[in-house]
Chains A and B, each alone.
Chain A
Amino acid sequence: MCLAAPAQIVRIEEGGWLAEVESFGNRRSVGLTLVPEAKVGDYVIVHAGFAVEIIDEEAAKISLATWEELLCSTK
């Protein structure tokens, strides 16, 4: 029940309560109340029918690069 999956916002409905998201080819409607600042195109984590956080792609890229530097290139 704890499954939380990434998805991309493709449409935000009028009023901003609900959004249509796509995740690996599947489209569904999710609540947007918990991430009021989300925009179309944003990647979000979806859990129990709600988007719960926006994925920060920049932070993701930076941390991946850091891990690589710390853990793959040393020795």
Chain B
Amino acid sequence: MLDEIIKPLRDPVRGRQMLAEIQARWHTLAARRGRPIVLMEFCGTHTVALARTGIRSLLLPEVELKSGPGCPVCVTDARDLDRAIALASVPGVTVATFGDLLRVPGSRGSLQEARAQGADVQVVASPLDALQLAIAHRERQVVFLAAGFETTAPATAVTVQAAARQGVENFFVYSLHKMTPPGLRAVLGDREIGIDGVILPGHVSLIVGRQAWDFVAEEHQLPGVVAGFEPVELLAALGLMALHWDEEPQILNAYERVVRERGNGAAQQALAESFVPVDAHWRGLGLLPGSGLALAERYRQWDAVVQFADCWRDLEPPKPIAGCRCGDVLRGVCTPLDCRLFGQGCSPATPVGPCMVSQEGTCAAYARFAVAK
């Protein structure tokens, strides 16, 4: 049963034993170095898990864990949200997307606010649900606003293929999909944030494979470890990294139950068939070359970015959100605690920026689990 797989990974006795051993190892390493060791967790789901389990605080002061830009909702650019809102306001158009995207502010409100003003915005759990919506409502034009990294993009890839196969002409995809290696590259190339090692995203890695991260060790001379999300898996990843700390930088895999060396071939093939890499805007990181996934030419008919371009022709460029440091948080330059608005006007109930809106946002994780410095 599923329980039997998960239970040992949540075992508190094992967890405590491992934690003590790991704290001791990092203590030695940090003492030798004469300063705390700074690790970045790229993935927003890791940010949440590290806050929820308390591991982030328990490793202080020897290890400082900084959050990276691995929350697809948070890195969605205000410009794209403004366009999506413009799209949702077109009569006859339904925008379908994941629930998390609804409350994210563009520079002129959110999709949720657009819905309150009469736009047809639907929440779906899967791109397949959006396709079903289009099939059930042939009189409407259904646009799936597709956010997510490599874990999510294959689902969209396969759905577009299904739409083409079934000849569904009123279904469209607005792809916000982004690739994580270019995102991480941009962060690692940023001199402002000194980091000593990277905790790599487990569920992205099951698609792209462990080897997709070799550039971290080869080009940036930093060690990395692919980690799972259960407490024991997170501790194992941190322990494994400590064990190999003195060796040449390498990318370790502590999530072998699902992450293979080369990843998921069928998913990679689906991506290659449906998408082409394009330059993409990331909130906080700017325009990153080759980091986005646009629909391939053969799916042009289903590409909302092409088919609805008129809707946002006259949109003004986005305005920044006053006082919000989400962009710096996403780059690991500061933590939410450094933002003046954190807890003072910006909270999960009244979010100001995307890092507080999204479940996987760093600000939301800090607020929900009361992370203290």
Contact = CB atoms under 8 A, between A and B. Distances in A.
Contacts of A62: 256
A4 B18 contact: no
Interface string B1-44: 11101101100001001100110000000000000000000011
Contacts of A45: 203, 206, 258
A34 to B, nearest CB: 5
Interface stretch (B111-119, B147-155, B280-288, B297-305): B147-155
Given A47-B152, A49-B125, A50-B154, A55 B258 contact: yes
A2 B148 contact: yes
B158 interface: yes
A31 to B, nearest CB: 6
A47 to B, nearest CB: 5
B254 A63 contact: yes
Given A49-B128, A52-B206, A53-B264, A59 B239 contact: no
B258 A67 contact: no
B256 A31 contact: no
A57 B244 CA distance: 25
A47 B154 CA distance: 10
B127 to A, nearest CB: 7
A56 B240 CA distance: 20
A52 B151 CA distance: 8
A31 B203 CA distance: 17
B45 A6 contact: no
A52 B128 contact: no
Contact of A56 (B18, B149, B158, B258): B258
Given A1-B98, A71-B17, 10 more contacts: A1-B101, A2-B151, A43-B5, A45-B206, A45-B258, A48-B127, A49-B126, A52-B151, A52-B203, A53-B259
The 3 A-B pairs with the shortest beta carbon distances in the complex, nearest first, are A49-B126, A60-B257, A1-B98
